[in-house]
Structure formats: structure tokens, C-alpha cells
Amino acid sequence: MSEYLFLVPLLPFFGFLVNGLLLGRLPKSVISAVACGTVGISFILSILLFFELKGLPPGARVIEQVLFTWIPSGDMLHTNVGYLLDPLSAVMILVVSGVGFLIHVYSVGYMGHDASYGRFFTYMNLFTFSMLTLVLADNFLFMFVGWEGVGLCSYLLIGFWHERKSASDAGKKAFIVNRIGDFGFLIGIFLIFWNVGSLDFRVVMERAPEVFVFGGGLITATCILLFVGAIGKSAQIPLYVWLPDAMEGPTPVSALIHAATMVTAGVYMIARTNLLYMMAPDALLVVAVIGALTAIYAATIGLAQNDIKRVLAYSTVSQLGYMFLACGVASFTAGIFHLMTHAFFKALLFLGAGSVIHAMANEQDMRRMGGLRKYMPATFWTFLFATLAISGIPGFSGFFSKDEILWKSFSSGHGHWLFWVIGFVTAGLTAFYMFRLLYLTFYGKERMEESTRSHLHESPRSMTVPLVVLAVLSLIGGWVGIPHILGGTNYFEGWMEPVVSGGHAAASQALASGGGDAGMEVTLMVVSVALVLAAIFGAYTFYNKRPELATAWRSRLSGVHHLLVNKYFVDEIYGTILVRPVVYFSLFLWKVFDVVFIDGFINGVASVYSDISETVRTAQTGRVRTYATVFLLGVVVILAYFIWI
Amino acid sequence: MVPVSAYLIVAIVLFGIGTIGVLISRNVIIIFMSVELMLNAANLVLIAFSRALNVVDGHVFVFLVLCVAAAEAAVGLAIIITLYRNRDTVNIDRFDLLKW
């Protein structure tokens, strides 16, 4: 089985080639069969590989397949095109191909009427290939190929409806902001290569303890630079600005790329290099602080947004902050666990939102929705499941992963009670804005126009089936990681242990030092659940029972509301202090340096020659007798020269 | 026996007439004839020296030139006829398009 590992990423690439090369020549049924089929087979292969991996003893759960040497350069640089399957990448390929497959199926219905149907699936397959390459690569450089590949596909898919200026602008914004992060990531890779002399993950992890000094400046700088890459790709402060704008893309794209998979690449990368981070406590602290700040910051913006997809976008940024908080307190398992459950419920939320938008004839403003529950029951129920999961209602997947993060941020050796408080408040905010969204969309008065209302319909089967599957996953997805304290067996932690043994050791150490904290863990759990319930009740009061209260509070807190609606004016601030100077400098280079200096020099040289020839060419009169006379004079002169001189 | 210098004087006179004809006449046919005159002045010089030095090289040369001149006359006259057909004139001053 393991010799087929390379097929997992290559199958979607095959789909990309077929759909891309025969663009516009295939009927829609063939396009969707190729696109969904290749990803589906990838998913089946991933499951088979997962079980093969599971059959190995825990310490030996590594399958590596090197296809060929990519860059053989001297003794130092020897980069392979190779795939590495270990417990971490196994989880990732299951999530990517599984959720990816569901979203591909969903897109068949959602994009059914789009003129660029084939182009859409071409990009989607290319994305799936790049993402699988990213998570399966066995060295930094090959991972970077996937990293850039997903960035490219993200750009292409955000700007999918490129005839809309806002969409193409959003695509460019995403690409450019990601470039800033990639810059740091690349320098991090250089530093690793420079110091370790290899880019292979396993070699780097093996040699890192000998090469780097624990907590030294070099390892800290390397980790922070790698994290800069993660900040860009995973939309953390200060580079998160591209993600809300990325909602210009088709909704399945938002679900797959900007919620479930690509944006989690940063979390994956940190989990992959967790050994390096364990050697740099300061870098871990940076990760945790950025993650915690992003979590609460984005959640507050989510409170006041009216566009259904923007709320979900800020929610994604906030949840990604959670994952980084988990990584930052050296609980990489919890981060990946939340990554997985988040992929389920956030993909479901986006697909549900897509279903709503589809029915509402592309209306995204929640103020013009309401009462959709009875028109689209399947969408409503699945959406409810996802909302309960993200809010952290006990029993749903989000509860277990979020609780794990909250507990680890409190109890881990790298944790702090302040991190817990931030995570705790964020959990309340999350529940509040998610139920606000739910009530505004599915309950209450029907605020849409009559023409829209008469067309309200449940989405086709190809869209609702993925919703139901994801709803089931949102419920049971967390059951693999039920904490010991609730009488469960934390399978997920055991599964991930070989990959994060360093982190696990530290975490268990911290647990051992505070062994009597079992009561504390339960208390914190109960407190956070209580807060979530209170937040849900608050949202119910404000947005369902007594909507006039929401209006009253909005006017009472108009200053704060204004700030939140405008997203803390961060886009404006960036525009003024960063974008505008760059634009003006570019204008200077264009209008002054290029046009005046460079063009002036070139044109000056040319005009000198043209002026000279302008004068000289008048000698060519075209009169034969003039030529003959000059000819004769020339002969006379030459003869005279030879005779007398 | 006629001295070589006499032949040379005739040749120079012929060549001068030809040159002046080329420079001052407007008619293309006249110019063409003047060019032939210059050519034959050169032939005369060749023959004269060939005779005086008693070698046949000059004769051979002159035959060659006469052959070429005959061919060239055919081509030249054909060009002049074509010019006349196209422009209805053989005035050389009207053919000044190839300038600047």
C-alpha cells in the first residue's frame, strides 16, 4: 500500500491536467466526474494508508517514499521529491482529501450554472494537489512548493469572478500579503539550511539539538521567521487583512481554502517543526501571544459584521488564533485537533452559508434575511450542528478541541492564566456572534424582498448531502479526543504522540507538577460552558426575543459599534501608512525615474542621431546629373592626388 | 606612321565630349550615347597601345568590351523604353524619386 503514497497528491494533479488541458471541450458531467473522482480516490487511498500506518507499532509509524532527487548540488544541497507519511500528515491528508472531496461534490451543485465551470474545477484540483504536497512533503523546499502552490490557487480562486473589480483586487491583496509572510518563511528556511546543512525534516529534527543552543538567539530567530510565514498564510495579526476580503471568491472556495485547509497550513507547519519550537521558548511565547490576540481581536470584529460570509471569515481568523495559541503553549496536539474539528464545522458553516446565499439569489447581508428555517430545513439543521460545534457545546467536536486548548493554555508549562482568560472570553464571543448569525439568518421576521422570498428553495441533493456528512462529522469528529477527565480515552493524543513527543513530554511534565489540578480542569470546563450558554442566551435575547434591545444597545455603544463595524479601521491604517507610501514611491519611479531619466536618456541618444541624419540626408537629391558631376569631381580629385602628391 | 600621342589626343577629345554630354544633356538617350562614346574612347586607347607595343592583349580586351557594350546597349535601351512608357518622357530631371 505504501508504494501508492505518491498517488494521493498526484491524482488531483491528474484531474487538473485533464480538466485544464481540455478546458471548454468537456461536458459538465465529465468535468465533475474527473474532479470529484480523483479527489475521492485520493481520499480512499488516504484511509487505506491511515490504516496501514495504524497497523505499525507507534514508534515506527513513518512511511517515506522518495520519488527522485530534485536538486542534487554538491555535497550540501540534496533535495528530494519525496513524501513523508506520519501520524501528523496522515491526519492532514484525511482532512484535506475528505473535506476537499465533500466540497468538490457540493460545488457540482453550487457552481452548476456558472459559465466557467471547467476552470473552477481545474483550480480546485490544482489546489488539492498543492495542499496534499504541502502536508506530505518530506523537506522544507518541497513543502514550500506546495505552500506557494496553494497561495497561487487561492489567488486564482478569490479572483475567480475576475470581471468584478472587488474580486480581482481581493485576489491581489491576498497574494501580496502572503508574499510578505513567505519572505519570512524563506529566510527561516535559509537559516535552517545554513545551520543544519539539510532541508529534510527528519534530518533537521535529528541534528537540531546538536546544532542549536536551547533558547539561543539563532533558533529563536529561525522559529520566529518561520512563524512569519505562518502569520501570512494563516491570517494572524498583523497580516490577517487578506482573509475577510478573500470572501469575494465562490463560497465553496471560502469553505475549502479559506477555512478548512489552506489557512491551517501555518498551524501544520509549526506542528511539523515542533521540535525546533520546543527549543525556543521565546518563539513559542510569540506564537502564543499572537494567537491569543488574534483570537479575541477577530472575534470582536465578528460581533458587528452584517455580511454572513464576513462573520465566518473573522470567525476563521479567530479560530486560527486558537490553534496558534495551542501551539504556542507547546500543545501541538491540541492545535492539530482543533484544526481537524474546525475543518469539519467551519467547512459546514461556509457550505451552509453558501446554500443560503444560493437560495437568496446572491444576497449576503444578514439584515435582509431571516426566517429561513422553514424554507430550507436541511441547511438549517446542519448549520445548527456546526454552530453548536463551534460554540463548544458539550458533546460536539468543537467542545473537546476548544476545551483542550483552554486547559492546556492554563496548565501547560508554557501557559499562563492570562492566555486562558483570553481564550475563555473569546469562547463567549464566538458563541455570541455565531448565534447572532443563526438567529438573524434562520429565525425572526422575513426581511427579504418579495421577489426573493417567492424563490426561496432548499438546495439540490448534491449540496445537502455533503452538508449532512459534515454535520455528522461536526458532532462525532471530536470523540477521538475525549479527555481522560471525562472518562474518555484521548486516542488523538496517543496517535499524535510520536510526532510531538518533545511537546508531549513537556506537557506531561507540567501536568505532573500540577497533578492535583483535575478538579481545576473540571471547574474551568464548567465555567467556560456556563459562559457559552450565557452568551447564547444573550444572543437569543438580543436577536430573537427582543430585537429592539439590540438596536437600543447599538445606539448606546455607537462609538464601539462604529469601531467594530469598520474593523478597527485597520485597512484604512494600513492603506495610509503602508500602501499609500508604496504607491507614491512607485508613482515616483514610474513618472519621474522611468519616464524622465531612463526614457529621457534613451530618447536623447536617438534624437541626436536622427537630427544628424536629418541634415546629412539632404545630399541625396535624387538627380542623376548631380551624382554624375560629383562622381567626376571625385575622380579628378583622386587622380590629382596620385599624380601630384 | 601615326604616333601614339595622336591616338591619345583623339581619345581624350572623345572622352571629354562624352563626359560633357553626360553632364549637361537632359535626354536619357543622349546620355546613353555619351556613355558609349566614353567607352569607345577607352577602347581607342587600348588599341593604340596594343599596336604601339606590338602585343595582342589590348585587342582581346577591346573585343570583350565591345561584346559587353552590345549587351549593355540592349539592356540600357530596354530600360529607357520602359521609362518612357511609364512616365511619357525621357527627361532625366524628372527621374528624381530616389532621394532622401
- Name all domains of chain B by residue range, CATH numbers in brackets: 4-94 (1.10.287.3510)
Assess A623–B contact: CB distance below 8 Å, yes or no.
yes
Please answer yes or no on whether B98 and A621 come within 8 Å at the CB atom. no
Alpha carbons within 13 A on the beta-carbon side of B59: 6
The one-letter amino acid code at A35 reads A
Query: What's the rounded Cα separation, in Å, for the pair A219 and A188?
Result: 10
Assess B1–A contact: CB distance below 8 Å, yes or no.
no
Please answer yes or no on whether B97 and A625 come within 8 Å at the CB atom. no
Positive or negative: CA dihedral A365, A368, A370, A371: negative
Chain A residues whose CB is inside 8 A of the B23 CB are 625, 628-629, 632
| Amino acid A559: pLDDT | 85
Q: Which of residues 22-51 of B touch A (CB under 8 A)?
A: 22-24, 31
Please answer yes or no on whether A628 and B99 come within 8 Å at the CB atom. no
Task: Report whether A474 contacts A392 (CB < 8 A).
Answer: no
Chain B residues whose CB is inside 8 A of the A618 CB are 100
In the structure grid, which three cell numbers stand for residue A543, read together? 436577536
- Strand-pair partners of A485: none
A134, A107, A104, A106: which is closest to A39 by C-alpha? A104
The one-letter amino acid code at A616 reads V
SS3 content of chain B, % helix, strand, coil (to 5): 80, 0, 15
| Amino acid A620: pLDDT | 85
Query: What's the rounded Cα separation, in Å, for the pair A142 and A135?
Result: 10
- Mean pLDDT split into 10-residue runs, chain B, 100 residues: 90 94 91 93 93 90 93 94 91 82
Res. A392: pLDDT tops 80: yes
SS3 A364: coil
Q: For an interface test with B, give the residue of A623, A627, A629, A631 to mutate (most B CBs within 10 A).
A: A623
Please answer yes or no on whether B23 and A628 come within 8 Å at the CB atom. yes
Res. A95: pLDDT tops 90: yes
Cα nearest neighbour of B93 on chain A: A623
In the structure grid, which three cell numbers stand for residue A441, read together? 439568518
- Chain A: give the shortest CA distance to residue B17, in Å: 14
Residue A100, number of CB atoms within 10 A of its CB: 30
Chain A residues whose CB is inside 8 A of the B98 CB are 620, 622
| Amino acid B98: pLDDT | 79
Q: Vertex A57, ends A52 and A62: CA angle to 5°?
A: 60
Res. A515: pLDDT tops 60: no
Please answer yes or no on whether B22 and A628 come within 8 Å at the CB atom. yes
Q: What is the DSSP letter of A452?
A: H
Query: What's the rounded Cα separation, in Å, for the pair A512 and A91?
Result: 28
Biggest CA-to-CA distance, chain A: 124
Q: Percent of chain A, pLDDT > 90?
A: 59
The whole-number average pLDDT for the span A474-495 is 84
Average pLDDT, chain B: 91
> A30-45, pLDDT tens digit by residue?
999 999 999 999 999 9
Residue A565, number of CB atoms within 10 A of its CB: 14
pTM, whole model, 2 decimals? 0.81
A518 vs A283, higher pLDDT? A283
| Amino acid B21: pLDDT | 93
Chain B residues whose CB is inside 8 A of the A621 CB are 96, 99
| Amino acid A618: pLDDT | 86
Biggest CA-to-CA distance, chain B: 55
| Amino acid A385: pLDDT | 93
- Chain A: give the shortest CA distance to residue B99, in Å: 4
Q: Which helix (H) or strand (E) holds A65?
A: strand A63-73
Alpha carbons within 13 A on the beta-carbon side of A476: 5
List alpha helices for A305-369, DSSP H: 308-328, 332-359
CA dihedral A182, A185, A189, A195 (to 10 degrees): 140
Chain B residues whose CB is inside 8 A of the A622 CB are 95-100
Residue A641, number of CB atoms within 10 A of its CB: 9
Task: Report whether A574 contacts A241 (CB < 8 A).
Answer: yes
- Chain A: give the shortest CA distance to residue B3, in Å: 24
Please answer yes or no on whether B100 and A618 come within 8 Å at the CB atom. yes
Q: For an interface test with A, give the residue of B23, B34, B87 to mutate (most A CBs within 10 A).
A: B23
In the structure grid, which three cell numbers stand for residue A357, read together? 446565499
The whole-number average pLDDT for the span A532-547 is 89
Assess A639–B contact: CB distance below 8 Å, yes or no.
no
A474's CB contacts (< 8 A; 6+ apart) are A341, A344, A345, A348, A385, A386, A388, A389, A396, A397, A398
> A130-140, pLDDT tens digit by residue?
999 999 999 99
SS3 content of chain A, % helix, strand, coil (to 5): 80, 5, 15
- Chain A: give the shortest CA distance to residue B18, in Å: 12
Q: Which helix (H) or strand (E) holds A85?
A: strand A77-85
Q: Which of A618, A623, A628 sits opposite B93 (nearest CB)?
A: A623
CA dihedral A171, A172, A175, A181 (to 10 degrees): -120
- Chain B: give the shortest CA distance to residue A640, in Å: 17
Buried/exposed B9-33: b ≥16 CB within 10 Å, e otherwise: eebeebbeebbebbeebeebeebbe
The one-letter amino acid code at A250 reads P
A172 burial via Cβ count (<10 Å: 0-12, 13-18, 19+):
middle
| Amino acid A507: pLDDT | 46
Query: What's the rounded Cα separation, in Å, for the pair A164 and A416?
Result: 46
A49, A127, A86, A93: which is closest to A339 by C-alpha? A93
Q: Which of A621, A624, A632 sits opposite B92 (nearest CB)?
A: A624
Res. A496: pLDDT tops 70: yes
Assess A29–B contact: CB distance below 8 Å, yes or no.
no
Please answer yes or no on whether A625 and B96 come within 8 Å at the CB atom. no
Task: Report whether A32 contacts A121 (CB < 8 A).
Answer: yes
Buried/exposed A504-515: b ≥16 CB within 10 Å, e otherwise: bebbeebbeeee
Res. A513: pLDDT tops 60: no
Q: Which of A617, A621, A628 sits opposite B96 (nearest CB)?
A: A621
A385, A392, A382, A373: which is closest to A322 by C-alpha? A392
Average pLDDT, chain A: 89
